């Protein structure tokens, strides 16, 4: 299918190293995106966060952003006024990502209520809402495309952080089938034969190796570039 395995989450130091190359003017965003197999948008995002908050901006946020109903409405109305782009509104209101704003706009346009989210965790956040297989696949994909930002995926699709985390984990171990509803799902692991268990384990190791290879490739490329540019 159309899945590409997520690259492992980039550490703050990796992000900084990439931005250093950009700021020294040695490489364009496009070149860096190609070299490190990261999307153009991702590097742009790192750069923006770095400009605003310095190094702290590059740390993965684990805390929930809280957005009041007022803020959401103001942001949506600003955007709909046609005077600001998605990016501008996102920055103006310090929203974690454009897709979060896009989601509010969709809600607003379909006349659903915008509620407070965040610190006080609304019901939609804590009660595990039911999701379809399609939705779960979409959410996992989204999370992987955004450097495994569970937080962002949870906010965007209004499911709990925990759910996103679990689905991504399951998907990485057993692929799409793992996201199916337990009812009617394949045999649970304890019922698997020794041979099946072995095969699963091999698959798991292959994936892990794949991840480590990607990580090492990333670091090697960094070293090469930095050596060349000394």
Per residue in 148-207, pLDDT (tens digit) is 888 888 888 888 888 898 899 989 888 888 888 665 445 555 567 788 878 888 888 888
Q: For 60-105, how does the pLDDT look when each residue is reduced to its tens digit (9 = 90+)?
A: 654 456 788 888 999 999 999 999 998 899 888 888 778 888 889 9
Domain ranges of the chain: 67-116
Asked if residues 181 and 133 have their Cβ atoms less than 8 Å apart, the reply is: yes
Residue 168 confidence (pLDDT):
92
Asked if residues 179 and 133 have their Cβ atoms less than 8 Å apart, the reply is: yes
Tell me the pTM. 0.35
Residue 75 confidence (pLDDT):
93
Residue 65 confidence (pLDDT):
64
Determine what percent of the chain is predicted with pLDDT higher than 90: 10
Alpha carbons 165 and 208: distance in angstroms, whole number: 17
How would residue 120 be classed by pLDDT, with cut points 50, 70 and 90?
very low
Mean pLDDT of all residues in 38-49: 87
Residue 160 confidence (pLDDT):
83
Nearest 5 degrees, angle CA 12-CA 169-CA 219? 30
Mean pLDDT of all residues in 46-64: 74
Residue 19 has pLDDT above 90, yes or no: yes
Residue 40 has pLDDT above 80, yes or no: yes
How would residue 139 be classed by pLDDT, with cut points 50, 70 and 90?
very high
Burial class (CB in 10 A: 0-12, 13-18, 19+), 174: middle
Residue 121 confidence (pLDDT):
45
Residue 8 confidence (pLDDT):
44
Residue 4 confidence (pLDDT):
39
The runs of H, that is alpha helices, within the chain are: 12-23, 29-36, 40-53, 69-80, 86-92, 98-109, 123-126, 133-145, 150-157, 161-174, 194-228
Residue 6 has pLDDT above 50, yes or no: no
Distances (CA, A) of 14 to 17, 55, 223: 5, 12, 11
Residue 130 has pLDDT above 50, yes or no: yes
Helix (H, G, I), strand (E, B) or coil at 198: helix
Mean pLDDT of the chain: 79
Residue 205 confidence (pLDDT):
85
């Amino acid at each position: 299918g159309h899945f590409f395995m997520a690259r492992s989450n980039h550490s703050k130091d990796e992000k900084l190293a990439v931005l250093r190359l950009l700021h020294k003017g040695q490489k364009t965003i496009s070149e860096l995106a190609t070299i490190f197999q990261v999307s153009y948008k991702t590097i742009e995002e790192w750069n923006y966060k770095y400009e605003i908050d310095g190094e702290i901006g590059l740390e993965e946020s684990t805390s929930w952003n809280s957005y009041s109903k007022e803020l959401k409405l103001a942001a949506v109305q600003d955007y709909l006024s046609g005077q600001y782009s998605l990016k501008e509104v996102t920055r103006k209101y310090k929203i974690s990502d454009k897709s979060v704003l896009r989601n509010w706009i969709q809600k607003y346009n379909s006349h659903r209520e915008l509620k407070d989210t965040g610190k006080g965790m609304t019901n939609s956040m804590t009660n595990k809402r039911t999701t379809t297989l399609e939705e779960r696949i979409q959410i996992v994909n989204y999370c992987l495309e955004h450097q495994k930002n569970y937080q962002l995926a949870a906010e965007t699709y209004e499911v709990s952080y925990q759910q996103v985390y679990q689905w991504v984990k399951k998907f990485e171990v057993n692929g799409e089938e793992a996201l199916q509803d337990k009812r009617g799902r394949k045999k649970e692991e304890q019922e698997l034969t020794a041979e099946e268990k072995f095969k699963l384990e091999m698959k798991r190791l292959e994936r892990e190796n794949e991840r480590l290879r990607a990580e090492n490739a990333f670091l090697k490329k960094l070293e090469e570039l930095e050596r060349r540019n000394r």
